[in-house]
Structure 1
Amino acid sequence: MDKLLKSISYIFHPIFMPIAGVIFYFTKSPRFIDYDVIKGKLMALFILTVLLPILLYFLLKTLNKVNSIKLESARERIYPLILNGVITLMVLKRIISPSQDIELYFFFLGILISTMACLILAIFKFKASIHMMAIAGLSMFFIALSIHFSININLTLALMFLLIGAIATSRIHVKAHSYIELLIGVFIGVIPQLILVNHWL
């Protein structure tokens, strides 16, 4: 059980949540989208939101800006959050167009706002849970898409809420966060997505 709870934090790492949202969107969208366009965007997003952050992490570790991938202190989170904000801006400027993928555009805008909120808290030495921020924001996006496209994804939503509980349990088990840090993470993830949904739902 100990190994399972520890592995959950890695398997459902925040780095994978944006690409998971994009894949879900393309599989559920009723609009016709050319397969080559989907493949191109997924490849570009995978490079920017998964591979690039991993490379930047090793760069920060080499420069002694972070001690481990766990980012145990609020201070260690500042540079990764800044870089993640820059990457999200690149996605909004270069890959996701509001005229073509308005749902994804506001999804990533919500991610940017959540990241900046987490950064501000980190500057003030409060360590909000990025894991909870990511999974909660993704869940809110799924709920909005189910309403927007009038599709039944009750099983998916049940799985998402199960994951929220599992990730929270994992973070508590490894002593990465307090309950209040987990709760603040949930709010930081959900609120921007909930507010921005008014622009596309």
Structure 2
Amino acid sequence: MDKLLKSISYVFHPLIMPIAGVVFYFAKSPRFIPLDIITAKLVSLFILTVLLPLLLFLLLKIIGKVQSIHLSTAKQRVLPLMLNCVILLLVIQKVVTPSQSVELYFFFVGILISNMSCMALALFNFKASIHMIGVNGLVMFFIALSIHYSININGTLAIMAIVIGAVATSRLHMKAHNNVELITGALIGLIPQLILVPYWL
């Protein structure tokens, strides 16, 4: 059980959440989007939102700025979150512009706001759960898309509810966060996506 709970934190790592949202969008969108465009978007976003942050993390670890991928202290979070905000700005300006996909554009704007909020709290030595930010922001995007396209995703939402519970349990089991940090993370992930929904729904 210990290994299972620890593995959940890696399987549902926050870095995976943006690309998961993009895959869900392309899978559910009723619009015709050429396969080569989908492939190009997925590859570029995977490089920018997964591979690049991992490479930057390794660099920060080598120079002694961080100790683990879970960023266990508030102080260690500030620089990685700042770099991730820069990456997200690049994504918004170059990869998911509103003229190409307004849904993905505001999805990533919401992610950027969540990152900036988490970074601001880290500056005040508060460690909101980035895992909960990622998974709750993703679920809110799923709900908004289901309303936007009038599709039934009850099965997906049921699975995501289990995932949220599993992630929260994993973070508590690993003593990475307390209840307040988990709830704060959930709100930071959910609220920006919710606020931005009227701009594209």
State the TM-score bracket (shorter-chain normalisation): over 0.9
Partner AA of 1:86 in structure 2: V
Structure 1: 4+ residue segments shifted above 3 A: none
Partner AA of 1:111 in structure 2: I
Structure 2 residue runs without a partner (length 5+):
none
State TM-score, norm by structure 1.
0.99
Residues 120-131 of structure 1 mapped to structure 2, 5 A cutoff: 120-131=120-131
Residues 10-159 of structure 1 mapped to structure 2, 5 A cutoff: 10-159=10-159
State TM-score, norm by structure 2.
0.99
1:161-201 CA distances to partner (integer Å, 9 max, x unpaired)?
A: 11000000000000000000000000000000000001001
Partner AA of 2:110 in structure 1: G
> How much does 1:46 deviate?
0.4
> How much does 1:62 deviate?
1.0
Partner AA of 2:117 in structure 1: A
Partner AA of 2:163 in structure 1: L
Partner AA of 1:37 in structure 2: I
1:67-101 CA distances to partner (integer Å, 9 max, x unpaired)?
A: 12121110000011001101100100110020120
Cα distance in 2, alignment partners of residues 27 and 136 from structure 1 = 20
- Look up the SS of the partner of 1:114 in the other structure: helix
Cα distance in 1, alignment partners of residues 41 and 102 from structure 2 = 14
Cα distance in 1, alignment partners of residues 101 and 80 from structure 2 = 27
Q: How many residues in Structure 1 have an aligned counterpart in Structure 2? A: 201
> How much does 1:110 deviate?
0.1
Partner AA of 2:52 in structure 1: L
Cα distance in 1, alignment partners of residues 28 and 67 from structure 2 = 40
> How much does 1:145 deviate?
0.2
> How much does 1:49 deviate?
0.4
Cα distance in 2, alignment partners of residues 68 and 19 from structure 1 = 22
Partner AA of 1:129 in structure 2: S
Partner AA of 1:8 in structure 2: I
